[in-house]
Amino acid sequence: MSSFTLPDFTNQIVDDGRFHLTEILGAGNYGVVYKALDLSSPPNSPAFYAIKCLGPVSPHTAQGCPHDEREIALHSRCSAHPGVITLYHRFTYQNHLFVVLELSAGGHLFEAVSAGAFHQNDTLVRSVFLQLIDVVRFFHESGISHRDLKPENILCNAQGTDLRVADFGLAIDSSCSSPPPKSAGGSPSYMSPESVTLGSESESYDPKQSDVWALCVILLNMMSGLYPWRRAHDSDAGFNAFLTDADYLRSTFPISDQLNELLERCFRPVPRTRPTLLQLRTEFVALEKLADYTPTTAPGCVPLDAIIVLCLVQLYRLCTLVIVVVTALHPRDVAVL
């Protein structure tokens, strides 16, 4: 269900008069999230929740579409974990399905990264990354693959702590014997190579391994605010550089040689050759040094000012070539110019 087809329920009183939907907090492909005041809470100590509208329900069963029902079922299975946004209950209103969720007091991890909460703070990076590993490990042990792990789906306070994973819209039950998904979905920068090509050429898709891949991209994002590539495909310049240059990560991100070696294995194109989530955790804990903030220019890397000069040179050459071609085709016009 696309959020663009959903009505705007702002200022509506829902759930048998209990909640007032005060404002829209966010919208995605699979729903709209509202901030809601609990009208049963004391006026001097109001309680707020996040309420997500998923989509229309069947008029006969009050059930949502299979996608929405799966999201609720899988989120409910994980809801008791302290690292997951709590899902309290569901209700219908004007033939639409809603779920009542815990409201995070802060923002999401992307905002904390952008604000510099993790800048040269290895202790915080270690703590947060291990928290994320443990939450995802709980998912996998519960037979669930999240498939859309990214900083925007990880809620936290301004300091980047007290994490809560949210948004199970793309999660699947990886413990059942149902046919594998035909597409992965998710955000391209965090998707594994087999996720990017799923449905076309990939035959090795493992949703759990794809979650591990996303975690490692998030780690680099926390440490630098950057992405290693736009998408993990050999047509992408960043990913192609990683595949052909063993020093790409080390020269691009402020990481130690030890972490570089670990991530090199975690980002191997073939899923079965990558460390498992448990192996990743064990090796990450054992790292003596996480970051290296010494400014370096690795072989093959060009400083920014040199890149600008090269671009100007190439532009000059291109203009010269255009003039030569135009002169050959229209000599009189060029002569006039």
Residues of the binding site for ATP: 52
Q: Which residue has the tokens 């490692």?
A: 216
Residue type, 105: A
CA 52, CA 63: separation in Å to the nearest integer? 15
Q: Across-strand partners of 108?
A: 155
Judged on CB neighbours under 10 Å (0-12, 13-18, 19+), 124 is middle
This model's pTM is above 0.85:
no
For the record, the structure tokens of 197 come out as 């090509």
* DSSP classification of residue 264: H
DSSP string for 129-174: HHHHHHHHHHHHHTTEE-----GGGEE--TTS-S-EE---TT-EET
pLDDT tens digit at each of 337 positions of the chain = 444 589 999 999 999 999 999 999 988 878 999 999 999 999 999 999 999 999 999 988 889 999 999 999 999 999 999 999 999 999 999 999 999 999 988 889 999 999 999 999 999 999 999 999 999 999 999 999 999 999 999 999 878 888 999 999 999 998 765 555 666 678 999 999 999 987 555 567 889 999 999 999 999 999 999 999 999 999 999 999 999 998 999 999 999 999 999 999 999 999 999 999 999 999 999 999 999 987 554 433 333 343 443 454 455 556 655 554 455 555 554 443 3
Q: Which residues are catalytic?
A: 148
